[in-house]
Amino acid sequence: MYLHLGGDVVVSFQEIIGIFDARLLEGNEDNQRFMDMARSHSRIRSEVAKDDRKSVIVTTTGVYTSAISSLTLQKRVTNVQWGLQSEAE
């Protein structure tokens, strides 16, 4: 299954390591270093403007930013997983 991050960007559920609120990451020095390192190593796969950024998605292949809130993205993943679990029962 895939998660739509906005625009033309989708990522496989299997690749997702974490979905984070962008505001929480901005205030932390360690998180800023992580994002700076990701940029310097060309690991940012999709980046929205800072004013529009609501979530940061870390995957096995890189880092994505999205204008969709982290809560909405997490709900999408959960809804699909519950739907798949219900079908299996």
What is the maximal distance between C-alpha atoms in the chain? 46
- Mapping DSSP onto H, E and C, the string for 21-44 reads EHHHHHCCHHHHHHHHHHHHCCCE
> Residue holding tokens 């998660």?
3
In the predicted structure, residue 87 carries a pLDDT above the cut 60:
no
pLDDT at 6: 92
pLDDT at 22: 93
- Mapping DSSP onto H, E and C, the string for 45-87 reads EECCCCCCCCEEEEECCCEEEECCCHHHHHHHHHHHHHHHHHH
pLDDT at 47: 83
* 12-66 per-position pLDDT tens digit: 999 999 999 999 888 889 988 999 999 999 999 888 888 999 999 999 999 999 9
Domain span at residue 83? 2-88
**Residue 83 — very low, low, confident or very high, per pLDDT cuts 50/70/90?**
low
CB count, 10 Å around CB of 74?
17
In the predicted structure, residue 88 carries a pLDDT above the cut 80:
no
Domain count, the chain: 1
**pTM listed for this prediction:** 0.83
pLDDT at 28: 86
CB 69 within 8 A of CB 57: no
